[in-house]
Structure 1
């Protein structure tokens, strides 16, 4: 299955509105977790929910990372010529997310950030090969930047909290 088109208008078309809305809405738990942990680290709010916020952020990150692997699995299933490696690599985000939940919290958040960076790189590469639509690649790039930044801010804030 290839998504490249000779028509440059098709390549430039924006993500479907619902995809954009759901994608951006999906950032809210990442942003909320990072914001709360940062506020707690700088004593702007009570840190009593820091453990819960960290767990919620880590589990949500693992679920979303797994979802992204599922997207790639689905595209491979729909393709008549999917390579076996695509199936193998598409399960790695789920396994990485699972391991991240089992790690100490700051390490889990860092592992998730790495997982999102790797998945984002794979998506960019797939977009260049034409196996992902360009609108998806552009949307994923934007979402990945915010997700990775949120996870790194949350991990740093958690380290500040733990150092107190």
Structure 2
């Protein structure tokens, strides 16, 4: 795997920037004062687990699109399997994030951990860039940590 300092700069910066709603949500869970300020200033949906849950569902759906793009690099039956696998994260987000913040948070954690398996399959078959798994492991560790704060703190 490629160390984070060897990844292309733009994907790394954009990937880290994409963590902001997760990190903000976790911080507002850990800091009642920050949560209160957020609710007053920009609204309740941007505080606590709510921002992480909504954004997490969006990002799982986004990842389906990324995987669909990787499937275009495959041929024949592998491509068909790749396309089929690529829709799983979006369907997971759609069907598994109801039922309250705790269940939705756990489902998102499972979804983000599960997508690593799909990332690895596409990477192993040469459809994802060489640095892909290093980036995905870093981002997923932070996302799952933030979601765990939302669920268990």
Instruction: With the length of structure 1 as denominator, give the TM-score of the two structures.
Output: 0.76
- The list of structure 1 runs, each at least 4 consecutive aligned residues, that deviate by more than 6 angstroms after superposition, is none
Alpha-carbon distance change, 45 to 55 in structure 1, aligned in 2, over 3 angstroms: closer
Q: 2:116 aligns with which of 108, 111, 120?
A: 120
What's the counterpart of residue 36 of structure 1? 28
What's the counterpart of residue 160 of structure 1? none
CA distance in 2, matches of 1:45, 1:61: 19
What 5-or-longer segments of structure 2 have no aligned partner? none
Q: 2:147 aligns with which of 146, 151, 154?
A: 151
What's the counterpart of residue 87 of structure 1? 83
Q: 1:64 aligns with which of 33, 39, 59?
A: 59
- The Cα offsets for residues 118-157 of structure 1, whole Å up to 9 and x where unpaired, read as 0012213433343322211111110010001111111112
What 5-or-longer segments of structure 1 have no aligned partner? 1-10, 158-164
What's the counterpart of residue 4 of structure 1? none
- The Cα offsets for residues 66-112 of structure 1, whole Å up to 9 and x where unpaired, read as 11111111111243334322212211111111234423111101100
What's the counterpart of residue 71 of structure 2? 76
Contact (CA 8 Å) 2:25, 2:50: kept in 1 or not? no
What's the counterpart of residue 21 of structure 1? 13
CA distance in 1, matches of 2:86, 2:123: 16
Find the structure with the greater CA-based Rg: 1
- How many residues in Structure 1 have an aligned counterpart in Structure 2? 145
CA distance in 1, matches of 2:34, 2:21: 19
- The Cα offsets for residues 29-49 of structure 1, whole Å up to 9 and x where unpaired, read as 101101101223xx7754994
- The Cα offsets for residues 46-74 of structure 1, whole Å up to 9 and x where unpaired, read as 49949622332211101111111111111
